[in-house]
Amino acid sequence: MHPIIKRTIAIVAVVAVVAVVAVVAVVAVVAVVAVVAVVAVVAVVAVVAVVAVVAVVIGGIIYGVNKSEQKENSIIISGEDYTEQEILCHMISDLIEDRTNINVD
């Protein structure tokens, strides 16, 4: 075999090995980035879940405090922030207070 052909085959073999190593390195980097992305998403979901649980607990505490402050034999009437609903809430509150012994807040 001619020396130039041998040298060409050797160069091609080295280039092939370098290409394979480069591909393996790229795949490894992509895998690491994917794992980091998954960990980041899981961390964000965990933080959102913790915030949601804290919000529910605080809401329950506030509701419990407000409920315990509420007088016996009283109710709360509420509605939307529109004129008609506010008027209707006041009308119903007045009717309930006039015709029963229930206090309306």
89 neighbors 77 (Cβ within 8 angstroms) = yes
Please tell me the predicted confidence (pLDDT) of residue 86.
82
Cα–Cα distance measured from residue 48 to residue 54, given in angstroms and rounded to the nearest whole number = 10
User: Which tens digits make up the pLDDT trace of 78-95?
Assistant: 777 777 878 888 888 888
**Residues comprising the chain, all counted:** 105
Please tell me the predicted confidence (pLDDT) of residue 4.
79
Residue 105: closest CA among 68, 81, 73, 62:
73
User: Which tens digits make up the pLDDT trace of 35-89?
Assistant: 989 888 888 888 888 888 878 877 776 766 555 555 677 888 877 777 787 888 8
Please tell me the predicted confidence (pLDDT) of residue 66.
59
Please tell me the predicted confidence (pLDDT) of residue 70.
54
CA distances from 44 to 23, 40, 86 (A): 31, 6, 41
Contacts of 92 (CB under 8 A, 6+ apart): 77
